[in-house]
Chain A
Amino acid sequence: MENKKSKYIFIVLSVLCVMMIVISSVKDGIMNPIRNTIGYVLVPFQTGVNRVGFGIYENLKEHRTLAEVEEENKKLNEKIDLLTEQNNRLTLDSGELSRLRELYGLDQEYMQYEKVAARVIAKDSENWFQVFRIDKGSQDGIRVDQNVMANGGLIGIVTDVGLNYATVRSIIDDESRVSAMGLQSSDTCIVAGDLTLYEQGRLRITDIKKDTSIQEGDRIVTSNISAKFLPGILIGYAVDVKEDEKRLMKDGYLIPAADFNDLSEVLVLKQVKSDSFLDENSGDGRVMAGAGSADEILKNVSEQNTNITGTWAGMEGLTPLGEIDGTADPNSGLITAKDIVDTGDNVYTVKKADEKETTASGNNGGEEDDSGRSSSGRESSNRTRETEAREEETVENSARETEAPETETRETAARESSQAETESQTIANQEETSYQNNDSEEELIEENPNN
């Protein structure tokens, strides 16, 4: 009986485990609530053990002899002299570098990324994987896919986040792949962790194109095309680059810049690479220091950006960057297939309601997007109602005319360049009343010669 009962339970448990494996392989994050709860309870223990161990270790270190300390002091003084000299040289160089950067209009440098310091509290105990946990979590602003650095080099990437802990997969883990490039040549390659090279302290570099100039000792940094890693973070130095067996590509080994033996404190870069993909509107993909989310990035656009892109956008008839309301739906006033297909009362009532909405919102805010929407709303309603009675058109005309001065004041108030405001108003009013069927874009283009 005992055996039968346990056999059934065994079958049930095995099936349950296999199902969990399948589900969690297919759908990420399904176990996160449970992970969070248990992590919340157990991580303080892990942190505590870690602190105690660290404290003991520090205590033991203090009991060294005076001779040792003096020797170390001497060595450190020599090092200080060396570093001071290096520092002086670098200060001169960095002055030149910032001038050159300004010249090129780049202000992207990974030192500007906001960082959070964290401590390693637990490691995967097997030698098969190189995964560790840090003691900061989502309540400290850690998110999945944030890069982790230590000792001046890339260490890993965050894979899992709980309330007060996060799991980081190190780049030397067998399953880790980093898209990288040589610093001097900007040729892309892939840096892969490999368990067989772990003892030698190396990683593999693969997929180097045959005619590139990556050489021994070249610095390898994360590339711009990486989907998860921020660009420009130092990974290590290339060694032993040679052609592979098929003679199609080159591959080699990489000695990492960071020291993996001794990981205790790491830095987590708060910027997530996918946030900068939302930053497309800013024209040159700039990363603003200290900006956390995409909304903040959009709102924190610098003056320089606005000026440059203001004239650029104005010339092409689009809304200047500084006036884009990130929360507004840019597609709301556009004509959809449904509008073209449906004619008749439904569309009229829908568009009228739409127009009323835009009028109301237009009365409230000074956003050029609204004016763009309302004008395009008018245009779309125009096109679909060409067969309607004239009464409706006159109603619409009067609505448009009352709207026109408002939109004009808003548009000119929003622009930062100097214009003769009254001139543009009267001219624009005349244009609007005369050209009823123009596109919203055409309207803006026609106004721009007034700038």
Chain B
Amino acid sequence: MKSIFKKKSIKKSTKRRLGILVYILSLVTAFLIQTSVIPLLPFLSASPNLLLILTFSIGFIHGSLPGMIYGLSAGLLLDLFYSGPFGFYSLIFVVIGYVNGFFCNVYYEEYITLPMIMCVVNEFIYHVYIYFFRFFFREKFDIPYYLQHVVLPAVVFSLMVTLILYRFVFSATEKIDK
């Protein structure tokens, strides 16, 4: 009896703060793992894009606005650290967070194959965006090569990691919303 009362006394604001803290922590951790740990592992030929997976998961589960904000912060982190014009990654992450929010109210979130389809589609859009703006304008038209050697490994790896990460985001959301 006492335990039920204690759980009910957790206010909504602290729950929200806890949620935000968890997401910020996951953002930083994913960024560190994605940039420092994975590229230095010698046996991986491609790396899963953890920040992208987290962005569309949050967009899908929580809606457009949280997805956009998370996407913006992830994109900003990537922009600060990498080559290219500033704002390049922010733009695509914001768009992905927003668009995935549309599916929030439409589909049932526990259905596992849907995140996998979403992962493939989102990764594809992301890589096409990078290719189009950084390579196409420099007249590098060898699309089959890029598809086979860059996009495909990245998509496969991300798919494998989506199964784990999406579950993580989903269960974290459930625990916090209890």
Contact = CB atoms under 8 A, between A and B. Distances in A.
B149 interface: yes
Nearest to A34: B80
A278 to B, nearest CB: 28
A123 B68 contact: no
A17 B94 contact: yes
B142 A21 contact: no
B130 A126 contact: yes
Contacts of B98: 6, 10
Given A42-B32, A46-B35, A121-B36, A167 B83 contact: yes
Contacts, number: 147
A35 interface: yes
A316 B154 CA distance: 67
A195 B35 contact: no
B85 A25 contact: yes
13 contacts: A20-B85, A20-B90, A31-B86, A39-B81, A42-B32, A45-B28, A46-B35, A49-B36, A50-B36, A124-B35, A125-B47, A127-B153, A129-B84
Interface string B61-86: 00111001000100101011111111
A70 interface: no
A7 B83 CA distance: 29
Contacts of B134: 128, 175
Interface stretch (B9-17, B38-46, B166-174): B38-46
Interface of B: 28, 31-32, 34-40, 42, 46-47, 49, 63-65, 68, 72, 75, 77, 79-88, 90-91, 94-95, 98, 101, 127, 130-131, 134-135, 138, 140, 142, 145-146, 149-150, 153-154
A196 B145 contact: yes
B147 to A, nearest CB: 12
Interface residues of A, number: 57
A417 interface: no
B83 A3 contact: no
A5 interface: yes
Contacts of A42: 28, 31-32
Interface of A: 2-3, 5-7, 9-10, 13-14, 16-25, 30-31, 34-35, 38-39, 42, 45-46, 49-50, 53, 120-129, 131-133, 159, 167, 169, 173-175, 195-196, 198-199, 261-262, 264
A24 B85 contact: yes
Contact of A24 (B49, B87, B94): B87
A34 B49 CA distance: 24
A3 B64 contact: yes
A138 B14 CA distance: 41
Nearest to A123: B39
A175 B138 CA distance: 9
Contact of B72 (A13, A21, A34, A131): A13
A243 to B, nearest CB: 21
Contacts of B77: 38
B80 A39 contact: yes
Given A17-B87, A196-B142, A123 B80 contact: no
A281 B80 CA distance: 40
Contacts of B72: 13
A128 B150 contact: yes
Nearest to B93: A17
B86 A127 contact: no
B40 A9 contact: no
A122 B140 contact: no
A262 to B, nearest CB: 8
A127 B68 contact: no
